[in-house]
Structure 1
Amino acid sequence: MLIGIILLIIGVFVAIKPYLAWYLYIGWQIKDSEPTTIALSIYRIIAILTIISGIIVIIKGSFSN
């Protein structure tokens, strides 16, 4: 269940701040660069999938006892 909570936190963070997530992943390596709209959209899609995965892990963890 802890993994599900971690997935939820990461997913919400990336969904709210995709620019910061992009910067932490690759942006710091490239001087004076900006992410494309497509890159930010992909980060949001991945965030939504991460949130869904976190919810599934939490639900499965609560019923596995």
Structure 2
Amino acid sequence: MLCPRLETGNSSGNELVGLHLATALALVVYFWQDWIRVIRGVSTSITQRRIQTVDRGSPG
């Protein structure tokens, strides 16, 4: 187990919050390009009142 304190139940709420924040930060860092695309898409759909799908090509 990576965090033995979590297994015993002796962890404080602050440690759990820190663990969740670190996980969220890791996901944002890893998927930053996808987040930029999502933010741009939402912004475009709000300002131009249209939804446009961009073909990213075939997977693989």
TM-score of the aligned structures, taking structure 2 as reference length: 0.42
Structure ranking higher on relative contact order (CA contacts 8 Å, 6+ apart): 1
TM-score of the aligned structures, taking structure 1 as reference length: 0.39
Q: Which structure: larger Rg?
A: 2
